[in-house]
A and B are shown apart, each in its own frame.
Chain A
Amino acid sequence: MKLNNFTFNCGIFKCLAIGLASLWLTLFVFFPSVLVMITSFLTRDPQNTVALPVNIANYQKAFDPLYLQVFLDSLTMSVLATICCLLIAYPFALAISKLDKRLQAIALFLMIVPFWTNSLVRTYAIQFILGKQGLINKALLALDAIDKPLQLMYTQGAVIIGLCYILLPFMVLPLFSSLEKLDSKLQLAAQDLGANAWQRFWHITIPLTMPGIVAGCLMVLLPSMGMYYIADLLGGAKNLLLGNVIKTQFLNTRDWPFGSAFSVLLMLLLAFMLWLYFRAAKFANKQGGLGDANF
């Protein structure tokens, strides 16, 4: 983006339209990312938060068995949440895609509304279901299935439920948008050739909706690693998610370089998964999912 390009062949309006957003994103998205990368190679300093000697000690520390375990554990939590989400959302999106148009609009509307409402408040509300005095325990006690309330809160299970609950729409929308594009003639053709319902699902529906599946998984997995307040509220004060680790490094331990190294690793993971996504999209030779999820 060269300045002379602007002054010679564009009016004020065009310059402004292009310039404002470019400037903003460069200053507050691109530049910060570069700074995080630089910080991750610096050393912690009690006075100025970061100081020179450039080194890779932070990465060595991140791959130290202790932290590697934390990294893997939190990744496991996020992956489990993503799998749960996919298993719940796929039949849901499939069922919605088979509804008639009017009901479909209503179901999607009801799905999208919580997507934009306060997720902190919704996480808090889960306590009414999972808590010692929550609905599940009360129901089980009333049915005499248990003698004393189950400990459902402050467990890894609760965090996974919370992540699924908050992130479900992110999975449903890309799945729906690729299911909607399926050509029903393929199903009929397969049926004529003697494929049963399961074979049709496994050999046609699943491969053709692969971009939606991968996009949905990405859109759940990526935010899930950072949502530290879900782990704080439902999992107790343990470093269950990568977000909690990064937050502790920045706001409590004040080891910015190490926290930055962790987020660079997170970004690398993101880049890897985006690569997988584009591979999958290419494989199905069809756009769908990330680019045109309807939000």
Chain B
Amino acid sequence: MRIFSKLYIALILSLIYLPMFVLVINSFNQSKYGIKWGGFTTSWYTKLFNNDGLIQAALNSLTVSVIAATAATVIGTLAAVALHRYQFKGKALLSSMVFVAMLTPEIVMAIALLIVFISLGITLGFISLVIAHITFCLPFVIVAVYARLKEFDMRMLNAAKDLGASELRIFIEIILPLILPAVISGWLLSFTLSLDDVIVSAFVTGPGYEILPLKVYSMVKVGVSPEVNAISTLLLVVSLTIVIISQLLIRKDKTQ
């Protein structure tokens, strides 16, 4: 019984990683159609780096993701602290909005934001992308930071307050250092979510502002090609690195 359950775990995990593994291998395959192994090459990557449109889209994506992740982390961290520490009118409303934002299917959020941007007269492009990305990252940051806040001892905050520390000082000198791992992992996860998003971005971007996931999406729709393999591998490596860092942060933090 024991051995069967271990085998089953191994089977599922390898099925999960198999397609990604084949993709990475094929991105170094000289043979254009990936049917047979035609020898090792990095020429698909060279070709990629000479594609100006793709590089521009990647830079645009990085800009949007860094800004969106940073803003979502600031707003989300503050919100998590507020939800954890304070009693205020509308607290239940705020937490239910977080819950709704997290559970709303992306497609619904996408059209809702599109309608808002059009009715507020916000031009579709950079600004609308940043706003949309902050919105779908926000709940994840709040949940991550809130989970961390729940773990630590509240009494030291009361002690600080009794000694006359202001709320801002308590936040900067006590709360922030304690929740920093969760804040950083919140940022990293927002960054990957933003960098990977297709569904919402497809709706809220304008013709003048190309971003990487959408560009890749239009390439991928055509079918398997070596350039797509190469760019997909790069994206995979970027998000894998970030996820591993953030998971290690959480884990290290838990063992302390």
Contact = CB atoms under 8 A, between A and B. Distances in A.
Interface of A: 1-2, 5, 10-14, 16-18, 20-22, 24-33, 35-36, 39, 49, 88, 91-92, 94-96, 98-99, 105, 107, 109-114, 116-122, 124-129, 131, 133, 135, 165, 168, 218, 222-223, 225-229, 232-233, 242-243, 246-247, 250-251, 256, 259-260, 263, 266-267, 270, 274, 295
A21 B142 contact: yes
B127 interface: no
Contact of A116 (B97, B132, B243): B243
B48 interface: no
Contacts, number: 251
Contact of A35 (B34, B116, B171): B116
Contacts of A36: 108, 111-112, 115
Given A21-B78, A25-B138, A260-B111, 9 more contacts: A20-B79, A21-B76, A21-B94, A24-B75, A95-B6, A128-B224, A226-B106, A246-B107, A246-B108
Tell me what chain B mostly uses at the interface: helix, strand, loop, or mixed. helix
A121 B236 contact: yes
B196 A119 contact: yes
Give the bracket for the number of chain B residues in contact with chain A: 35 or more
**Across chains A and B, which 6 residue pairs bring their CB atoms closest together, nearest first?**
A21-B79, A226-B107, A32-B112, A95-B5, A1-B90, A125-B19
A17 B78 contact: yes
A116 B134 contact: no
B13 A110 contact: yes
Contacts of A243: 105, 107, 199
B156 interface: no
Given A21-B76, A94-B5, A125 B23 contact: yes
A5 B22 contact: no
Contact of A246 (B17, B23, B34, B111): B111
B163 interface: no
13 contacts: A2-B89, A11-B166, A17-B79, A20-B74, A21-B75, A21-B76, A24-B134, A24-B135, A35-B115, A109-B247, A110-B16, A116-B243, A119-B196
B25 to A, nearest CB: 9
B105 A92 contact: no
B240 A14 contact: no
Contacts of B9: 92, 95-96, 99, 107
Contacts of A222: 103, 105
A233 B220 contact: yes
A229 B221 CA distance: 9
Contacts of B131: 28
Given A120-B217, A121-B232, A246-B111, A229 B198 contact: yes
Interface stretch (B39-47, B52-60, B62-70, B80-88): B80-88
Nearest to B102: A290
B33 interface: yes
Nearest to B74: A20
Contacts of B178: none
Contact of B166 (A13, A35, A223, A267): A13
Nearest to B254: A105
B192 A25 contact: no
A222 B199 CA distance: 14
Given A18-B88, A247-B107, A13 B224 contact: no
B236 A118 contact: yes
Contacts of A39: 115
Contacts of B93: 1
A135 B75 contact: no
Contacts of B189: 116
Contact of A229 (B26, B97, B217): B217
A36 B119 CA distance: 11
B159 interface: no
A117 B196 contact: yes
Nearest to B240: A117
A11 B18 contact: no
Interface string B87-128: 011100110011011011111110111111011000000000
A168 B97 contact: no
Contacts of A92: 8-9, 12
B133 to A, nearest CB: 11
A243 B199 CA distance: 9
B247 A112 contact: yes
Nearest to B112: A32
A31 B111 CA distance: 12
Contacts of A26: 97
Nearest to A221: B105
Contacts of B213: 118, 120
